């Protein structure tokens, strides 16, 4: 008897927050994502100043690569549930938050719907994304821009300081 194995896809997520017990919340988010997906790679944890001019405190950020059996929309639903469980309130864009999880890439798939844009539209403009991304996936090619993570980081005009988090 043949069994059909569900397809899996590699997805890349960025996780971060600047409110509450930031490190513990980040670890809880990674653990929650890993409960129903396989974590393939994890970057170091980085600390950065708030981006976008709205949030007030520094963020901890981390990029993870996962192997998932979920469709992109199902993954979005899962991460939004995790954010909410970890205290996320969607008050204002780029504002303070306990946890924010974004899908950066879903394999090489390009998605443009009202709910989801993949690749994430601001990857190449945000150093806090590119530093951990280039750490774990330096040669990954952006399916729209045709540039590797390292190339995007070299060309990024964001002058924010992204430093490895020290406990």
Would you name the residues annotated as active-site residues?
88, 97, 100, 102
Q: Which of 114, 38, 119, 109 is nearest to 71 (CA)?
A: 109
- Residue 33 structure tokens: 């994502």
Handedness of CA 139, 43, 132, 40 (dihedral sign): positive
DSSP 25: H
Cis peptide bond prior to 118, omega within 30° of 0: no
- Residue 139 structure tokens: 């040669």
């Amino acid at each position: 008897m043949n069994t059909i194995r569900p397809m899996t896809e590699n997805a890349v997520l960025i996780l971060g927050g600047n409110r509450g017990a930031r490190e513990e919340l980040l670890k809880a988010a990674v653990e929650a994502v890993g409960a129903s997906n396989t974590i393939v790679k994890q970057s170091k944890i980085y600390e950065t100043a708030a981006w976008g001019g709205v949030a007030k405190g520094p963020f901890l950020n981390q990029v993870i690569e996962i192997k998932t059996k979920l469709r992109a929309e199902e993954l979005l639903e899962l991460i939004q549930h995790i954010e909410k469980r970890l205290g996320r309130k969607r008050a204002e864009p780029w504002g303070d938050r306990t946890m924010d999880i974004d899908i950066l890439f879903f394999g090489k798939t390009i998605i443009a719907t009202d709910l989801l844009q993949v690749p994430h539209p601001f990857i190449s403009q945000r150093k806090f994304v590119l530093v951990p991304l280039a750490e774990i996936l330096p040669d990954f090619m952006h399916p729209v821009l045709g540039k590797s993570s390292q190339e995007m980081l070299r060309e990024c005009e964001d002058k924010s300081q992204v430093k490895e988090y020290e406990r």
